[in-house]
Structure 1
Amino acid sequence: MAALEWSGALALDLPLMDETHEEFVELLAQVECSDDAQLLTRWQALVTHTEQHFGMEDRWMASTHFASGNCHSMQHKVVLQVMREGALRAAQGDLQALRMMAAELALWFPQHAQTMDAALALHLRRVGFDASTGVVNAPEALPGELVHGCGGAGCSPTPLARPVAA
């Protein structure tokens, strides 16, 4: 069984975000159950998905008045950087690094989804954001100033930022 499985606890009532998150969980599960021969290929698929996933959320934030340096976007950048570094290490033969990273992602993702992404989903609903078109249907509800935090009460740390032991 995968360390992380999709459940209603991860759903945020924003269909495109929920579909993307469910795909992330599925790809992570595929990484976890991979043998050594499949591991890097499946990790690369997860990285590609995550680049698109985080890019989509970052575009949503930018179009609804989140500052480009907010902690939610910064966490996306850090996690992606670490995932890419893991792929490089695996390409050099260090598959254990990816297995450790996958375990960390399974711990990190629910907290990220239930805090930062939940706050973003609430914000997007408040401003009437249509994820499929990118249209803000309630522009009067947009914040007057850029959102510099994560959109919630606080920002969570990024456990993947810890260096992986060599």
Structure 2
Amino acid sequence: MAALEWSDALALDLPLMDETHEEFVELLARVEHADDAQLLARWLELIVHTEQHFGMEDQWMASTRFASGNCHSMQHKVVLQVMREGAARAGQGESQVLRMMAGELALWFPQHAQSMDAALALHLRRVGFDAATGVVNAPEALPQGLVHGCGSASCSPSAQPVPA
């Protein structure tokens, strides 16, 4: 059994985001179940998916006035950097580091999804964002200024809550 399995607790009622998250969970499980010969290849598949996954969310934030330096985007950058460093170490023969990292990702992801991604999904629904087309159907609902933090009032002391 994988350390992380898809469940309704991870669903955020934003179909494209949910599909992408479910794929992340599946790819992470492939890493966890890979034998030593397949481990790095599975990890690299996870990195490619995660680059696209985070890039899509970062684009959604940019399109709907989340600040480019917000903590959500910053966390994406840091996680990807660590994943790439793990791949480099595995390429030098330290493949067991990937097994440890996979376990850590399985712990990190639900918290990220249920906090930062949940705040983003709520924001996107409020502004009528169509993830498939990139169209904001309720531009009047866009925040007047950039949303800093993760979009949650509790993200940081300077976070601006997403307007109701």
Under a length normalisation based on structure 2, what TM-score does the superposition of the two structures give?
0.94
Moved over 2 A (4+): 153-156
Q: How far, CA to CA, are the matches of 2:10 and 2:137 in structure 1?
A: 26
- 1:133 is the counterpart of 2:161: no
Partner of 1:71: 71
Partner of 1:24: 24
Asked whether the equivalents of residues 72 and 155 of structure 1 are also in contact (C-alpha less than 8 Å), the reply is no
Question: Offset at 1:154?
Answer: 3.0
Question: Offset at 1:119?
Answer: 0.2
Question: Offset at 1:96?
Answer: 1.2
Q: How far, CA to CA, are the matches of 1:151 and 1:112 in structure 2?
A: 13
Question: Offset at 1:94?
Answer: 0.3
Q: How far, CA to CA, are the matches of 2:107 and 2:130 in structure 1?
A: 30
Partner of 1:61: 61
- Stretches of structure 2 that go unaligned for 5 or more consecutive residues are 157-164
Q: How far, CA to CA, are the matches of 2:89 and 2:155 in structure 1?
A: 29
AA in 2 matched with 1:23 = E
Matches within 5 A, 1:113-128: 113-128=113-128
Q: How far, CA to CA, are the matches of 1:106 and 1:31 in structure 2?
A: 11
AA in 2 matched with 1:25 = V
- Stretches of structure 1 that go unaligned for 5 or more consecutive residues are 157-166
Q: How far, CA to CA, are the matches of 1:23 and 1:127 in structure 2?
A: 26
Partner of 1:49: 49
Partner of 2:145: 145
Q: Report the secondary structure of 2:34's partner residue.
A: coil
Question: Offset at 1:153?
Answer: 2.9
AA in 2 matched with 1:48 = V
Question: Offset at 1:122?
Answer: 0.1
AA in 2 matched with 1:137 = N
Partner of 1:15: 15
Q: How far, CA to CA, are the matches of 1:8 and 1:106 in structure 2?
A: 16
Q: How far, CA to CA, are the matches of 1:131 and 1:17 in structure 2?
A: 8
Q: How far, CA to CA, are the matches of 1:122 and 1:67 in structure 2?
A: 16
| Corresponding residue pairs, total | 156
Q: Report the secondary structure of 1:124's partner residue.
A: helix
Q: How far, CA to CA, are the matches of 1:152 and 1:94 in structure 2?
A: 38
Asked whether the equivalents of residues 89 and 97 of structure 1 are also in contact (C-alpha less than 8 Å), the reply is yes
AA in 2 matched with 1:124 = L
Under a length normalisation based on structure 1, what TM-score does the superposition of the two structures give?
0.93
